[in-house]
Amino acid sequence: MSGAQQFTSLRPLLPGVYLPSLLFSIGIGAMMPMIAVSAVNLGADAAGAALLVAILPVGQIIADVPAGALAARLGDRLAMICSSLVAMVALAGCALAPNLGVLALAVLLTGATNAVYGLARQAYLTEVIAPMRRARAMSALGGVARIGLFLGPFAGAALVHGNENPAPSYWLAVITSLISALVVWFLVPSEGHRPHGSGSSAPARVSTWDVLRSFRATFATLGIAVLLVGAVRGARQSVLPLWTEHLGFAPATTSLVFGLAGAVDMLLFYPAGKVMDRLGRLWIAIPSMLVMALAMVLLPLTQSLPAVITVALLLGIGNGIGSGILMTLGADTAPERGRAQYLGIWRLFGDTGNAAGPLGVSLGAALGSLGAGVIAMGGIGVLATAALGRWVPRWSDHANATTRRRAGLSGP
């Protein structure tokens, strides 16, 4: 899209991109806590219910690379619409599942549709937003998704309050997916009517294998950094509840600690995006990982509730300022030809790390020391920081002011 006219403000994208993303995320957030409830209602024990919950990110990982190929074939807009419609079928399957097998398949398919939707909206934003506004656009996208995942469980809980049947939460997700598809259909222009002019012909399609082969050096270096960042972020989801449980706090207290961290997380995404656009990606990527690594190291040293809350807020700050950094770096490094396939591979690294992080913490706990597992994830955060510092300037022109000057780019 060289020389193409692109959006320099997020405001025109609010109804067509951010609103449907919020709606879709609210639905996913509403159904996620209900997976374990549904599994138990269908006869699963605690271990089986935990396995059903783990199937959701597995579906996302499995679909990441095919999602890129699908978005390249259908186009970003149609991929978002189709994934929303398929999500409706999957979520209805969760609500009506007669046995654990059907529930597992429906949850797996829900994870897959989440991968397709996430990739398509990232690819669309990469295309239509000006590079010097890219970070705040991606950070806002990540922030909107977090807001949806934060609000969704509350909306679902309100529907199932006083009722042991989790189905209403799934039906809420069906409705939000339908509305999301309708909003994209009516408000997102088709590929032939994008704001980048009509003179350029569509680039020839390339295979995912060709993209992987062409950019193997990027994936072998910066991709490893992405995987490490994903692992630290994934571990953040599990270390707080595990540690509060270890200290013997009540479940309500655990929820409060987790909620406070999530609230701080949601407040910081837009300022972080502005810093990345003005000063460069490393000005956020490095502090984000260092703060999270420090919090991981400090958490096993806490014994009182105020100390745990302090570290939880620190984790929320670190994760919040890093909102959108992986999507932004993916957009920075993605080629115009084969963009969707590239982003599919890119997201596979992040999602794999996200799934591996909690496993690392669990491994430490299984070996007899939860604290050691948490501290080890702090070490992974330090490695992620070093990898970002080493490889982001090599592959992204927007790493810092020096790389921008070298590439002949002016500031926003």
On whether both 15 and 137 belong to a single domain, the answer is yes
Question: Is 1 a domain residue?
Answer: no
**146-155, 191-200, 254-263: range with lowest mean pLDDT:** 191-200
350 and 371 in one domain? yes
Residues 139-176 pLDDT 10s: 999 999 989 988 888 888 888 877 778 899 999 999 99
**Spatial separation of the C-alpha atoms in residues 9 and 134, rounded to whole Å:** 10
In a domain, 379, yes or no: yes
CATH number at residue 88: 1.20.1250.20
Task: Tell whether 341 is covered by a domain.
Answer: yes
In a domain, 215, yes or no: yes
The 3-state DSSP class for residue 411 equals: coil
As for how many domains the chain has, the answer is 2
Q: Are residues 118 and 33 in the same domain?
A: yes
Confidence of residue 2 (pLDDT cuts 50, 70, 90): very low
- Domain shared by 310 and 237, yes or no: yes
Q: Is 75 left (phi over 0), alpha (psi -120 to 50) or beta?
A: left
10 Å Cβ neighbour count for 44?
Answer: 18
Q: Report d(CA 8, CA 131) in Å as an integer.
A: 9
- φ/ψ of 129, rounded to 5, equals -100, 140
Give the end of a domain, one of 173, 194, 215. Answer: 194
With bands split at pLDDT 50, 70 and 90, how would you rate the model's confidence at 199? very low
Residue 269 has pLDDT above 50, yes or no: yes
Q: What is the mean pLDDT of residues 46-73?
A: 89
* pLDDT at position 410 over 80: no
Which contiguous run of DSSP H or E holds residue 86?
helix 76-96
pLDDT value of residue 264: 87
330 shares a domain with 213: yes
- The predicted model gives 181-203 an average pLDDT of 67
Contact 156, 33 (CB under 8 A): yes
Please indicate, yes or no, whether residues 231 and 347 belong to a single structural domain of this protein: yes
- 237 in the same domain as 359: yes
Report phi then psi at 7, rounded to 5: -70, 135
In a domain, 260, yes or no: yes
Same domain, 390 and 250: yes
Q: Do 23 and 179 contact (CB within 8 A), yes or no? A: yes
- Identify the domain boundary among 194, 217, 243: 194
Residue 113 falls within a domain, yes or no?
yes
What is the tens place of the pLDDT at every residue in 83-116?
Answer: 999 999 999 999 999 999 999 999 999 999 999 9
CB 170 within 8 A of CB 92: yes
Residue 117 to residues 19, 25, 64, 109, 152, Cα–Cα distance (Å): 13, 10, 10, 12, 17
Name the domain boundary from 194, 217, 234: 194
Give the count of beta carbons closer than 10 Å to the beta carbon of residue 130: 15
183 shares its domain with 238: no
User: Range of 124's domain?
Assistant: 11-194
Same-domain status, 101 and 232: no
41 and 142 inside one domain: yes
Task: Enumerate residues 6+ apart whose C-beta is below 8 A from 337.
Answer: 203, 204, 206
CA atoms within 13 A on the CB side of 17: 27
Write down how long the chain is. 412
Residue 5 lies in a domain: no
- Please give the average per-residue pLDDT across 405-412, as a whole number: 77
pLDDT band at 364 (very low <50, low <70, confident <90, very high): confident
* Residues 123 and 271 grouped into a single domain: no
**Residue 387 carries which side chain, given as an amino acid letter?**
A
User: pTM of whole model > 0.75?
Assistant: yes
- Say how many Å lie between the first and final Cα of the chain, rounded: 19
Does the residue 257 lie in any domain?
yes
SS3 category, 92: helix
